Amino acid sequence: MSVVSINAADENIAKKICKFPYIIEAGSNYIKHKNFVIIENNINVYKVYNDINNFKECVYKFNWAHDNLINFLTPTIIDSFVFENKGILKLKFIKKKNNQNIIEMLDVFFNIMTTIKNIEKIPHPNFFKSYELQSEYEKIFKDKNLILTHGDLNHKNIFKTEDNKIVIIDWDNLSLQPQKLVEHTTALYFLSHPDFHNKNFPSILKIVLDKFKNVTINKLINLSEKKYEISVTHFSKNFWKNMAERIKLV
């Protein structure tokens, strides 16, 4: 499952803590932070954190989400503990529905963004001194108006269950970010669904621009190019480069 190779010591953690067969998901978070995810037999999910302070922050964020996101499902925390100097967050696995209607998800993305932004009980301010790659994004979005955001609203982190409940996972990047950055990122991540990488892209982009009134084509291109520049895997590098090209063609 992993897109990057993971070292033997980390792989051993999975062997020691899992009773059932498991798969390991390691991607850019492994390259950037040595963090990875173990999915045990579609029963448990273990998020493994290399930095204990970051682990504590993330446990707090998952708890905060579970307490405050009333209209959406968020993972239930089963346990959190330190094991071989890694922070481990054990979550209940939530099963994804097979055939998702992607266009219908546009409203879902927009509603989630708006709901989180409007939550009054904001998390502890200590956890919001900065957001990941802040200095890079500030080069494009100088907006002083900060809003609360999930921080990684993409179609892998938002999905529906068989009984059509909307699930939001991966709360590690919950943060205060410039409103314009949040709007452009949410629109761009919606557009990044693999189903849209075809000749219908211009019409999907038009629907997205109708929904996100503050989003402009130029800034979407700037953001894609920035993501290309800061990507740590070849896969994401190519992905964001192609995305910028696709938008430029419209």
Ligand X SMILES: Nc1ncnc2c1ncn2[C@@H]1O[C@H](COP(=O)(O)OP(=O)(O)O)[C@@H](O)[C@H]1O
Q: Give the footprint of ligand X on this chain (CB under 6 A).
A: 25, 27, 29, 37, 39, 45, 47, 75, 91, 93-94, 156-157, 169-170, 172
Contact status, residue 216 vs residue 188, Cβ threshold 8 Å: no
CB 250 within 8 A of CB 221: no
Q: Residue 202: CB partners within 8 Å, gap ≥ 6?
A: 249, 250
CB nearer to ligand X: give 43 or 82. Answer: 43
Provide the minimum distance between the beta carbon of 152 and Mg ion in the complex, in angstroms, as a whole number: 6
Q: How many CB atoms lie within 10 A of CB 185?
A: 23
* Residue number, 49 or 212, with CB nearest to ligand X: 49
Separation between Cα atoms, residue 96 and residue 173, nearest integer Å: 22
Nearer to Mg ion, 115 or 173 (CB): 173
| Cβ nearer to ligand X, comparing 174 with 176 | 174
# binding residues, Mg ion (CB under 5 A): 2
Strands (E), the chain: 22-25, 36-40, 44-49, 77-83, 86-92, 146-149, 158-160, 166-168, 175-178
Give the x/- contact pattern for Mg ion in 165-184, rule: CB under 5 A: -----x--------------
Q: Is 157 in the site for Mg ion (CB under 5 A)?
A: yes
Q: How far is the CB of 39 from ligand X (least distance, A)?
A: 6
Residues of this chain that bind Mg ion (CB under 5 A): 157, 170
